[in-house]
């Protein structure tokens, strides 16, 4: 398949049909010079423009440079195609502290997330000044891209945390079949999709009228690493599992309906006189109708980080959601879920990230974040 274009009004990797593999990285910026930060973003942009087209990170490549110099590409993707690689950059709230004189440029939607009931966040794998999301059909290609960006950033940024995801848990286009998460359910049925032009304009992309004009064409990203109590879930009855989500496990249909894309009728009552979809069901609580019409573009990945030393899978969902304003979208939805979701018995939020993803790079003279600097 053809590589995805790197240049455009919006960054790729957001409404791009979700690829199968993820390597997500968050960096701390360690240089204290604003000019060096802007320079790094220019170098990264040049490398990303090449990498996403299946080329090596630098123009000499893994083996074409001087033998006495370290190569400008690490080599492990030699011979591999672009594999649908997209690279998407974001700026965390901590980038807008006093260090770089950017405090007055911090967009209002990039307000720190509140504490949510029940979360058990681990600081070392949360936050970050910058992030890069690499998605591809081949994990080697995604890892290669992140590794080379980290290499290019040596001395200016350091990796704070990173996460691999091995299977997409969302569809972001109607052309895609809905994948399944590690609890065995179809995930992404009722997601915002590439084809929903009006909703994307209203609910995904920052507009020039929003508080920070430099973000126009950009969007805001929330990540949550959500560990699953897989072994407990696996001893839960099928009926209970389906009630927790409010959808059936085989088809993904709303309970009380037949097919995956049948409309959800939250008022429909079963033979017992009770609603098919319970009050604490995940889809009822997360649905736009329960949240002032707030939608999210979910783009998460399954992860398994081996096992935890106690014989349990260290596994779950690396949740990724894009939106125009987390204060009106992720925050109220997650607050409702954190308080009431029947799924909470089986999950634990252990990391959190919040990033402003600037507009797309227009052409070779432009760079990631130019409108900010």
Residues that bind ligand HEM (CB under 6 A): 181, 183, 185-191, 224, 226, 228, 245, 247, 264, 282-283, 286-288, 296, 316-317, 319, 330, 333-334, 337, 347
Which is closer to ligand HEM, CB of 145 or CB of 337? 337
* 3-class secondary-structure state, position 337: helix
- Alpha-carbon distance of 61 to 51, in angstroms, equals 11
Question: Residue 61 or residue 332: which is nearer to ligand HEM going by CB?
Answer: 332
Please state the closest distance from residue 30 (CB atom) to ligand HEM, in A. 31
CA distances from 345 to 86, 168, 210, 230, 277 (A): 35, 23, 38, 11, 18
Write b or e for each residue in 160-187: b if 16 or more Cβ atoms lie within 10 A of its Cβ, otherwise e.
Answer: bbbbbbebbbbbbeeebebbbbbbebbb
Provide the minimum distance between the beta carbon of 44 and ligand HEM in the complex, in angstroms, as a whole number: 29
- Whichever of 56 and 190 has its CB closer to ligand HEM, that residue is 190
Judged by CB, which is closer to ligand HEM: 185, or 205? 185
Burial-class residue 24 by CB neighbours within 10 Å (0-12, 13-18, 19+). Answer: buried
- Give the closest residue to 56 by CA, choosing from 81, 86, 25: 81
Nearest-approach distance from CB 244 to ligand HEM, in angstroms: 9
In the complex, minimum distance from the CB of residue 251 to ligand HEM, in angstroms, rounded to a whole number? 11
Q: Which is nearer to ligand HEM, 192 or 206 (CB)?
A: 192
C-beta closer to ligand HEM: residue 6 or 319: 319
Helix (H, G, I), strand (E, B) or coil at 26: strand
Q: How far is the CB of 96 from ligand HEM (least distance, A)?
A: 24
Output DSSP code: residue 79. T
CB of 308 to ligand HEM, least distance (A): 17
Q: Quote the CA–CA distance of 119 and 112 in Å, as a whole number.
A: 15
Q: Find tokens 């899978």 and name the residue.
A: 313
């Amino acid at each position: 398949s053809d590589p995805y274009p790197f240049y455009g009004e919006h960054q790729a990797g957001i409404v791009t049909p979700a690829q199968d593999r993820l390597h997500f990285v968050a960096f701390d910026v360690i240089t204290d010079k604003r000019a060096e930060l802007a320079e790094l973003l220019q170098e990264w942009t040049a490398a990303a423009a090449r990498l996403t087209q299946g080329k090596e990170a630098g123009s000499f490549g893994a083996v074409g440079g001087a033998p006495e110099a370290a190569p400008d590409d690490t080599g492990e993707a030699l011979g591999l195609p672009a594999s649908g690689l997209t690279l998407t950059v974001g700026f965390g709230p901590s980038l807008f502290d006093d260090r770089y004189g950017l405090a007055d440029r911090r967009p209002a939607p990039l307000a720190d997330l509140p504490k949510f009931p029940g979360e058990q966040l681990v600081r070392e794998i949360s936050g970050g000044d910058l992030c890069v999301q690499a998605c591809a059909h081949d994990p080697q290609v995604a890892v290669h891209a992140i590794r080379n960006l980290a290499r290019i950033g040596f001395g200016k940024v350091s990796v704070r945390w990173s996460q691999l995801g091995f299977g997409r848990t969302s569809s972001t286009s109607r052309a895609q079949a809905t994948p399944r998460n590690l609890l065995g359910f179809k995930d992404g049925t009722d997601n915002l999709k590439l084809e929903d032009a009006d909703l994307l304009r209203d609910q995904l992309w920052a507009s020039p009228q929003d508080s920070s004009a430099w973000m126009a064409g950009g969007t805001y990203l929330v990540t949550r690493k959500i560990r699953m109590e897989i072994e407990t879930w696996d001893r839960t009855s099928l009926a209970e599992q389906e009630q927790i989500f409010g959808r059936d496990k085989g088809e993904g249909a709303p309970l009380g309906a037949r097919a995956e894309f049948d409309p959800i009728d939250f008022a429909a009552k079963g033979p017992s006189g009770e609603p098919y979809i319970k009050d604490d069901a995940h889809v009822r609580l997360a649905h736009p109708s329960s949240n002032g019409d707030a939608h999210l573009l979910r783009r998460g990945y399954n992860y398994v980080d081996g096992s935890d030393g106690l014989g349990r899978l260290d596994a779950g969902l690396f949740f990724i959601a894009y939106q125009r304003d987390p204060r009106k979208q992720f925050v109220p939805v997650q607050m409702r879920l954190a308080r009431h979701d029947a799924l909470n018995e089986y999950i634990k939020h252990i990391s959190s990230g919040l990033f402003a993803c600037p507009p797309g790079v227009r052409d070779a003279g432009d760079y990631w974040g130019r409108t900010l600097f």
